[in-house]
Amino acid sequence: MLPGKRGIFLTRKIFILLLAIPLLVACQGLFSKGKEKGETGGTAGQEQKQKENNQDQPDTGAEPSEKTGGHPGGNGAPGEGEGGEILLDASLFNEIEVINGQKVIKNPDNILIIVNKDYSLPPGYKPKDLVRPKVPFSFGDRDIEKSYMRKEAAEALERMFRAAAKEGIRLYAVSGYRSYERQKELFDAEVAERGKELAVQAVAVPGQSEHQTGLAMDISSASNGFQLNEKFEETPEGKWLFKNAHKFGFILRYPKGKEDITGYMYEPWHYRYVGEYAETIYKNGWTLEEFFEQARAI
């Protein structure tokens, strides 16, 4: 039996200890539950928060690089601005001087020159780089004026004729460069035969003919009797040209249905060299005039 005071002291310690044990157990349980729910900011809580944040993001089905890459609104084509606008060096536009009420072109050597009923070549203009392309001519090997073209156009014509021949298409050049004097002879003869009103629809006024630039060539075939007429479009040669000329820098200059724009009747035989811009003109079904309506000088 314990002494009086000491017994009472021990009894109190045991009693306090017995009360403290359940309290410690309860606190441990609360601490464990809080950790499991992530309420303390521990690992479980961070994972849950990340999961919730991910659920807030829309599912685009694209990787980040796909969402931010690319060039919206453009196709990357050289020489094209926003919305397909054609960007050209200013030197490729006609430089005009008005002489006696007529718009005369001051830069006639420009490969994209527009010569029509509104714009005339300078008096006496003749290209300095005329050569005779090595292609079959409807008049044989005669070395005459209309067998010439400007050098760049002549070389492109040779490539086009060679490509056609490889596919069994035999093309013949009929008429290329034409001087002012020769154009005057043709125009006067047409006026005498049909009258001026009809003549200007078929034959250019002297100084307003593309042939004088040395960049145009009339083309036909043996199957069409070497003639320059609308029947040429129905021949294998005419069809091949229409589908392939742009690959070599040429365009059908006076297409059907565009007479009100070009000012001339449909001529499926008349092809004009414009170089690298032929592809754009062909794909859009434009005339040269319409091409420049979409162009801006830089």
Active site residues: 267
- According to the 3-state scheme, what is the secondary structure of the chain? CCCHHHHHHHHHHHHHHHHHHHHHHHHHHHHHHHHHCCCCCCHHHHHHHHHHHHHHCCCCCCCHHHHHCCCCCCCCCCCECHHHCEEECHHHCCCEEEECCEEEECCCCCCCCCCCCCEECCCCCCCCCEECCCCCECCCCCCCHHHCEEHHHHHHHHHHHHHHHHCCCCCEEEECCCCHHHHHHHHHHHHHHHCHHHHHHHCCCCCCCHHHHCCEEEEECHHHCCCCCHHHHHCHHHHHHHHHHHHHCEEECCCCCCHHHHCCCCCCCEEEECHHHHHHHHHHCCCHHHHHHCEEEC
